[in-house]
Amino acid sequence: MDPSQVKIPPMKDLTVDNITENVIRINSLCDDERMKYVLERLVTHLHDFARETRLSSQEWMTGLKFLTEVGQICTEVRQEYILLSDVLGLSILVDSIDHPKPSGSTEGTVLGPFHTHEAEELPAGGSMSKDPAGEPLLVVCNIRDTNGKPVEGVKIDIWETDSSGHYDVQHADREGPDGRCIMRSDKEGIFWFQAITPVPYPIPHDGPVGRLLKKLGRHPYRPSHMHFMFEKEGFDHLITALYLRNDPFETSDAVFGVKDSLVVDIKRAGPEYAAKYGVSEDHALLTYDFVLVSDVETRELREKNSKAALDKLGRKVKIVNGLPIPELD
């Protein structure tokens, strides 16, 4: 490479006060406007963080060693970086920004690291759990759009832990997928299946993220929940979960995922559900009405929220596909 051909602004004698603008200037050779904007903001906040905290070399080395350990423990089934993003509140923040929900629609929550692509599709009424120790739970749900119309043919991915609070992938000796399934909504937007009553469990805390939580005086528990992921063309991809009311960790979830609209009561089937779904009257029952938002509605809301947020910050940007990039003209 001939350095005289490279259009790099001259940079020398950089100081605490001018390093930021120079790093931004050299990064601005990038011809992807969105990436350039993200990097500009990232460098600005990172440098301000170091200036504000008067970060010592030793502290930054500790930080780098921590990030190295987070990387070293990662495997296909141990996603420590996702955990880190979760316990820092970044996962739920990004989900809320990228998947805004009009009032009355189902809110999203954290995906977590335990979704897999192994689940089998079950017919209506199928059982997703092979755990004999779990309390059998009948789950009956329906899906509507924001106009109240039933949505047929939605692919729903569902996953939960076993009664010991572990996902199937956390058992080294597992024989195949368990505690997970795929369902499709019928003409009336209904899907129903047999599961087990969720239990609270700790997120993996035997690694660097667990040590961080301990140092911060935080517990690693998530309240009892069941995960749902909805996909249908024309609708915004919804990743959510239902949480059981009065769980001991309902208001202290280690990953900040609980929203009031997603908290449910486990009831008893009673005569009507017992007759319709072939269970005993005292069988545990979970019901929920999900409301999906169309792609169009989501795009409009994302764009509106982006404009309002950037206006509030007093930043001159233009919004492309709902995402800000610098306004050049």
What is the binding site for ligand BEZ (CB under 6 A)? 83, 86, 110, 112-114, 203, 222, 255
**Position closest to ligand BEZ via CB:** 112
d(CA 252, CA 32): 40
The Cα–Cα gap between 292 and 303 comes to 18
Side-chain-side CA neighbours of 161 within 13 Å: the count stands at 19
Cα(270)–Cα(217) distance, rounded to whole angstroms? 44
Q: Is 136 helix (H, G, I), strand (E, B) or coil?
A: strand
Q: How crowded is residue 306: how many other Cβ atoms within 10 Å of its Cβ?
A: 19
Closest distance of CB 114 from ligand BEZ, Å: 4
Q: Residue 203 binds which entry of ligand BEZ, Fe ion, none, with Cβ cut-offs from 5 to 8 Å by kind?
A: ligand BEZ
Angle between helices 80-87 and 90-98 (to 10 degrees): 80
Of residues 106 and 240, the one with the C-beta less far from Fe ion: 240
Which does residue 302 touch among ligand BEZ, Fe ion, none (CB within 5 to 8 A, set by kind)? none
By C-beta, is 228 or 290 nearer to ligand BEZ?
Answer: 228
Cα torsion 109, 113, 114, 119: sign: positive
Q: What is the DSSP string of 206-247?
A: SSHHHHHHHHTT---EE-SEEEEEEE-TTB--EEEEEEETT-
Q: Using CB atoms, what's the residue nearest to Fe ion?
A: 112
111 or 293: whose CB is closer to ligand BEZ?
A: 111
Q: How far is the CB of 325 from Fe ion (least distance, A)?
A: 35
Query: Distance between CA 247 and CA 224 in Å, rounded?
Result: 7
Distance between CA atoms of residues 162 and 142, nearest Å: 24
143 contact choice in Fe ion, ligand BEZ, none (CB below 5 to 8 Å, kind-dependent): none
CB of 257 vs ligand BEZ, minimal distance in Å:
7
283 binds, among ligand BEZ, Fe ion, none (CB under 5 to 8 A by kind): none
For the bound state, the minimum distance from the C-beta of residue 136 to ligand BEZ, rounded and expressed in Å, comes to: 21
- Among Fe ion, ligand BEZ, none, the one that 86 touches (CB under a kind-dependent 5 to 8 A) is ligand BEZ
- CA-based torsion, 75, 161, 258, 238: positive or negative: positive
Residue 100 or residue 112: which is nearer to Fe ion going by CB? 112
* Closest to Fe ion by CB, 259 or 318: 259
Residue 222: CB minimum distance to Fe ion, A = 6
For residue 34 the two structure tokens come to: 């969105």
Q: Which does 101 bind (CB under 5 to 8 A by kind): Fe ion, ligand BEZ, none?
A: none
The two tokens of residue 159 are: 């996953």
Q: What is the CA 249 to chain-centroid distance, rounded?
A: 18
- Of 45 and 174, the one with the shorter C-beta distance to ligand BEZ is 174
Q: Which of residues 84 and 151 has its CB atom nearest to Fe ion in the complex?
A: 84
DSSP of 190-203, one letter per residue? EEEEEEE----EEP
Helix (H) or strand (E) holding 180: strand 180-184
- By a kind-dependent CB cut-off of 5 to 8 A, residue 113 interacts, out of ligand BEZ, Fe ion, none, with ligand BEZ
- Give 47 or 78: the residue with its C-beta nearer to ligand BEZ: 78
State in angstroms the smallest separation of the CB of 144 from ligand BEZ.
25
Residues at the site binding Fe ion, with contacts judged by CB under 5 A: 112
Give min distance, CB of 67 to ligand BEZ, in A. 18
Compute the least distance from the CB of residue 115 to Fe ion, in Å.
9
162 interacts with, out of ligand BEZ, Fe ion, none, CB within 5 to 8 A per kind: none
